[in-house]
Amino acid sequence: MKHAQIFKTDDGSIGLYNKELDEIYHSREGAQKESIEKFIIPSDFEKRTKNTSCVRLLDVCYGIGYNSKNALCYYKNSDIIIDALEWDFELVEYSKTADFYLSEINEFLRGEKKLGNLKINFYIDDARKSILKLNKPYDVIFLDAFAPNKLPTLWSVEFFAQLKRLLLPDGILVTYCSAQPVRKAMSLNGFCLGKMLDEKNHSYVTIATLDEKLIKFPLDEFELGLMNTKAGIPYRDENLNSSAEEMFKKRESEVKNSNLKGASAYLRKMR
């Protein structure tokens, strides 16, 4: 593949490394494991498919499809319709043959097998352009873009406004990212924020909804305070077409001129 190198993750599943950004697409501990722990479980995807006749999923940054594939595995519970956004056509094609524990999912993706009323639509373009073409609401949104400090284009206040526009009142948005600018961008759009905790009680997933009753583990006072320091100044992309460099510079200028408390000062105060 032109933009990515393949490597094996610790759980035996395939991961990718992006040479241009010097960034991995998947956790080295396990691409499959990461998908289940950071997207399928936090979104209560299995429960959702058991409680409704159809689940609509928006998968932002499909990559080689782990999140969508794991969601599609619940096709026996209900109909599942996925809109998958991905800029790299090569990744989408590779996803149809890359090893996956349930071979029939790859067969479905290749059009060789019908599985219930599953449907997946691919949008191959900058996700900021693709999202403007969508107008049907979603039960679940997965946001699995590169980390904001590497590529901020899908973490802006304006991009989250589009995700909010597309989320059902009882829907849920899940991302692995807990960076302060990301959580602040969500908050500025009126999302209620929550998290998932690992065995050490550390937050490793951010959950956003439009109904606070759906949040099992809300952000605590410390996390909300940190989000409101300079560290939480979000990325801006007014017309959804800025370059990453433009977004970095704009945020850097805003941080420099801000009167907000710095994260270090906040942390010292909270100790």
Burial class for 183, CB neighbours closer than 10 Å (0-12, 13-18, 19+) = buried
> Angle at the Cα of 54 (from 48 to 57), degrees rounded to 5?
70
Residue 234, pLDDT score = 98
DSSP H helical ranges for 52-88? 66-72
User: Which is nearest to 230 in space by CA: 264, 205, 201, 255?
Assistant: 255
Residue 267, pLDDT score = 87
Contacts of residue 231, defined as CB under 8 A and 6 or more positions apart, other chains included, come to 180, 181, 262, 263, 266
Q: Indicate the fold that domain 31-220 takes in CATH.
A: Rossmann fold (3.40.50)
Q: Which two tokens stand for residue 57?
A: 């999923």
Element (H, E) at 252: helix 244-257
The Cβ of residue 220 has, within 10 Å, a number of other Cβ atoms equal to 11
Cβ atoms of 31 and 13 within 8 Å: the answer is yes
Q: Which two tokens stand for residue 48?
A: 């959702």
Residue 41, pLDDT score = 96
pLDDT in tens, the chain (271 residues): 566 666 556 666 666 666 565 555 555 567 888 999 999 999 999 999 999 999 999 999 999 999 999 999 999 999 999 999 999 999 999 999 998 999 999 999 999 999 999 999 999 999 999 999 999 999 999 999 999 999 999 999 999 999 999 999 999 999 999 999 999 999 999 999 999 877 777 778 999 999 999 999 999 999 999 999 999 999 999 999 999 999 999 999 999 999 999 988 888 888 6
Q: How far is CA 205 from CA 17, 80, 119, 164, 181, in A?
A: 22, 23, 27, 18, 14
Strands 138-143 and 167-175: what pairing?
Answer: parallel
Taking each helix axis from N to C end, the angle separating 157-166 and 180-188, rounded to the nearest 10 degrees, works out to 50
Residue 191, pLDDT score = 98
